[in-house]
Structure 1
Amino acid sequence: MTNVIIKNKELKRTLKEVSELLKDVESFFAGMGHTDIEKKIRDMAKQMAEPFYIIVAGEYNSGKSSFVNALLGKKILRVGPTPTTHSVVLLTHGDSFSQEQLQEHMSRVTYPLDALKEITLVDTPGTNSIFVEHETIIENFIHRAELVIFITSSDRPLTESERRFIQLLKGKWGRKVIIVLNKIDLKTEEELNEIIPFIEKNCYKLLGFDPKVIALSSLMATTAKANQDQELLRKSNVGEIEDFIFEKMDFDIKMELKSLSPLRFLTNVFADLKKDLETKIARYNSEIAGIERLEARLKSKREDMQDYSKKYKLEIESAFSRLKERLDTFLGYHMTTRALMASVFSREKIGDKFKKEMSSLSNPLHDLDRVIDDAVDYITRNNRALWEIALDYKKVEQGTGDVESLGEHSFEDRKNELQFALKEHSREYREFDLVNEADRIRAVAQGGLVNFLAMEGAAVAAIAGFGYLLTFFLPAAIIMVGAMALAGIGFTVIPHKRKVYRTEISKRIDNLSDRCSNFTISELNKAIDRVIEDIENTVACFRDVRWSEREICMKHLAELNRLSDRVRGLLGKSSTELK
C-alpha cells in the first residue's frame, strides 16, 4: 500500500489521524506496563502502511485453505481432512511464488496475482483444532483482521464452536464478518435454500447482526479454473465472492475498513480497561475510607483506653489509702503510753512488730501486683484486638505480611516488658523501706517514752523530796498543782509524738501514692500510644500506597477518556454501513 496514492483527501487525513492515535495509544499502554496490548497496537500501527488484511477463519476441514486456493486459481496451500494449517499464513503479492518463515507460527507466501497488490489474504489454523496452541495462535492474530471471511461447511453449518468464535469476532474484537457457506456441491438447491436462511436467522437471533452469506464450492472453483470450465466456474459461485472482494469493496472502502479495524479494537479494549480502572478506583476509595474510619476508631479507642486506665490509678491510690489506715491502726494500738510501757518488759519491741505486720501478706501494697497484672492484661488484650483489625488492611497490601507478622511472641514480649517496668519501679513502694521505717518508729517511740518518763519522774520528785524543800518558799497547794500539771503534760508527750509521726508518714505515703500511680498511668499511656502509633503508621503506609495507586489510576483514566474521545471522533467520520 505504500506505493498506492490515496486520492480521497478526507480518507487520507483519517488514516493519518488513526496512525497518530495508535502511536499515542502504544505509548499509553507502554506506560501502564500492558506489554501484550502494546504489542498488538504496535502491530496494528505497522499494518496501517500495509495492504488490506482479509483473514480467512473457520473450523478445520471447513475448506479455508481450499477457499484461498479457489481465489488464487491454484493449489498453493495444502488441504486435507485433518488440521493442515498449523500457523498463520500471509499471502501477499510477489513476482513469483515463494515461501518464508517470518516468526514462530507465522509464514509468508508470495504469488503473482494482481489482486494481492491491494490485499493480504491470511489463512489461519482451525478454530476447533485438536491442537490447543492453534486457538492461541488465532486469538493472538485476529486483532489484525480488517475483514474476516468466516468459512462454514454446508454439512455442518454454524456449529456451536463457530457461533462462539463469531461472537468473539463481533463482540470482543468488533470485526466485520462475511460468512462463506462452503461445499455447496454436497447439497441440493432445496437444502441450500434451508441452510442459508438458517445461518442468517441464527446469526441475527444469537449474535445480533445480519450477516452477508455467500454460497461457494471451493472444489468446483479450483477445478473449473484449472480446466477453464466456465460452466463449472459459474456453478461454484466463486465469482460472487471475487466480485465482492475485488470489485464492490473498492479501494476507498478497504481503506476505510483499515481505519475502522483498530478503532473497533480500541473501543472494546478501552471499555474493558475503563471498567477495570473504575473498579480499582472504587476499591481504593473504599479502602481509603475504611482506613480513615479505622484511624478515627483508633483515636476514640486511645481515649477510651486512657480513660479506662484511670481505674488502675484509683486502685493504686486505694492501696496506699488502706496502708495509711493500717498504719493508723498500728500506731493507735502500739504507740500509746500503756503499750510502750508494756513493751519495756517485752522481748518484741515496736520496731519488730512494725516489720512483722507490714511485711505480712495482708499488706495492702501487695495488691499493687494484682493491679499491675490486670492493667497489663487489659492493655495487651486491647492491643491484640486492634492489631488484628489493622492486619486486615495489611493483608490487602502485597508483601505486608499476615497475622504472624506481629506474632504472639511480640505481644508477649511487650506484655513482659511493661510488667517488668511497672513491677520493678513499684518495688520501692511495695517494700516501703521497712527497716528504715521500723528504726524511725523505734526512735520516735523511745524518744516519746523517755520524755514521758522524764516528765512523770519530775512530777513524782516534785511531790516527794524536792517538793518538801519548796514548801519553804511556796505553799504546798501550789507545789501539788504544779506536780500534777507536770504529770499531765507527760501523758501528752507520746500522743503528740504519735500525731506528728502520723502526719509526717501520711504525707510521705501520699507522695509515694502519687508517684506510683502517676508512673503507672504514664507507662500504661505510653504502651497505649506506642501500639496506636504503630498501627497508625502501618495503616498510614497502606493508605499512602492506596492514595498513590488511586492517583495513578485516575491519571490513566483521564488519559484513557481523552484517547476514547479521539476514537469516537474518528468513528464518527466513518459511514454507518461500514460500522
Structure 2
Amino acid sequence: MNIVDTPGTNVILQRQQRLTEEFVPRADLLLFVISADRPLTESEVAFLRYTQQWKKKVVFLLNKSDLYQNASELKEAISFIKENARKFLNTEDVLLYPVSARSALEAKLLSFSNTGIDGREPSASESHWKVSNFSEFEKFLYSFLDGSTRMGMERMKLKLETPIAIAERLLSACETLVKEDCQKAFQDLKFVTELVDSVQDYATKMENESIYWRRKTLSLVWFWHSCLCMHTRAFRNELLTLLNIMS
C-alpha cells in the first residue's frame, strides 16, 4: 500500500494544485481531510466535484474534532458535511470519521516513550488515544486492506475499476475531440459547398450577362453599320447628282 500526502486544495502555487489533481486518477481511495474550524471550503467543494469524473471512493476525515465544545456541535458538523457530500458525490454512502491528529500523535509518542515492561500503554496515552477517535478509522483501514472482509473486497473492486475508469475517461476525451473535429469538418464542408454554389451562381450570372452584352453589342454594330450604309448611299447619290449638274 502506498499513501501519498498531496499538497491539498487552495494552495498558493498552481503546480501544487495540479499535482494533487494528477494523483486522483491513480488513487484507489481518497482520504479527504477536512479541518473542523472551516469544513468544506469553496476549493474543497471544487476538488470533490473534480474527483467525480474519475468515480473515486472518498472517505472523509474531520480533523481537529476536539475543537468542538460538545457532542452536539460535533454531530451538527458531521451532519452538515455528510449532507453536502451526498450532493457533491451523488451518493448516499458517505464515510466520515471525526479525528484529532494531534491527540493521536501525542498518544503514539507517549506509547513509544513510556510503555511499561508488561507492554501495556499508560493511562495518559490511552486518554489521548480515546480523544483522538482514531480507533474507528484504523479499524476501517485494516478492514479495507484485508481481502477477506467486505471492505477488502470493495478495495479489490476499486483497484480493478481504477484502470477502467482511466480508460473510460480517455475514451470519453477522445470521443469529444473526434466529435469536435467532425463538427468542424462539417462546418468546413458546408462553407466550401456554399462557396462553390456561390461561385457557380456568379459564373452563371456572368455568362448570362456576357450573352446579353454580346447581343447588345452586335445589335449596336448592326445598327451603326446600317446607318453608315444608308448615309453612304445617300452621299453617293448626292455626289452623282452634283456631277451630272456640273457636266
Q: TM-score range by the shorter chain?
A: 0.7 to 0.9
Q: Percent identity?
A: 27
Gaps of 5+ in 2: 112-124, 148-152
| 1:391-406 map, 5 Å | none
1:10-57 Cα deviation digits (max 9, x unpaired): xxxxxxxxxxxxxxxxxxxxxxxxxxxxxxxxxxxxxxxxxxxxxxxx
Alpha-carbon distance, 1:236 to partner: 1.2
Distance 1:200 1:331, change over 3 A: same
Does 1:298 pair with 2:179? no
The amino acid that maps onto 1:121 is: I
**Matching residue within 109, 114, 120 for 2:2:** 120
Pair 1:323–1:239, CA change in 2 (3 A): same
How far apart in 2 are the matches of 1:125 and 1:194?
A: 28
Q: Distance in 1 between matches of 2:196 and 2:227?
A: 47
- Residues 246 and 330 of structure 1: CA distance in aligned 2, closer, same or farther (over 3 Å): same
Deviation of 1:215 after TM superposition, in Å, equals: 1.1
| Match in the other structure for 2:186 | 285
**Aligned equivalent of 1:241, options 133, 137, 144:** 137
Structure 1 position 343, deviation (Å): 6.2
The aligned residue for residue 108 of structure 2 is: 225
Q: Is residue 2:242 matched to residue 1:342?
A: yes
1:238-277 alignment runs, 5 A limit = 238-251=134-147, 252-277=153-178
Distance 1:129 1:300 in 2: 61
Look up the SS of the partner of 1:120 in the other structure: coil
TM-score, normalised by the number of residues in structure 1: 0.37
How far did 1:173 drift?
2.4
Contact kept, 8 Å, 1:174 with 1:265, in 2: the verdict is no
- Paired residue type of 1:277: V
CA distance in 1, matches of 2:8, 2:217: 85
Q: Distance in 2 between matches of 1:200 and 1:233?
A: 25
**Distance verdict in 2 for CA 1:167–1:342, change over 3 Å:** same
Number of residues of Structure 1 aligned to a counterpart in Structure 2: 227
Counterparts of 1:94-109 in structure 2 under 5 Å?
none
Q: CA deviation at 1:206?
A: 4.2
One-letter identity of the residue aligned with 2:106: T
TM-score, normalised relative to structure 2: 0.81
Question: Are the aligned partners of 1:174 and 1:268 in contact in 2 as well (CA < 8 Å)?
Answer: no
Which amino acid in the other structure matches residue 240 of structure 2?
L
Equivalent position SS for 2:59: strand
Following TM superposition, by how much is the alpha carbon of 1:127 offset from its aligned partner in structure 2, in angstroms? 0.8
Whole-angstrom CA distance in 2 between matches of 1:125 and 1:345: 125
Deviation at 1:120, TM superposition (A): 0.4
Instruction: Tell me if structure 2 keeps the 8 A contact 1:181–1:213.
Output: yes
Superposition deviation, residue 330 in structure 1: 2.1
Q: Kindly name which structure, 1 or 2, has the bigger radius of gyration based on alpha carbons.
A: 1
Instruction: Give me the CA root mean square deviation.
Output: 2.5
Question: Partner amino acid for 1:250?
Answer: D
CA contact (8 A) 2:144 2:155 kept: no
Match among 147, 155, 160 for residue 42 of structure 2: 160
Gapped regions of structure 1 (runs ≥ 5)? 1-118, 347-452, 454-579
CA–CA distance in 2 between the matches of 1:181 and 1:345? 135
**Structure 2 CA distance for partners of 1:260 and 1:206, relative to 1, 3 Å:** closer
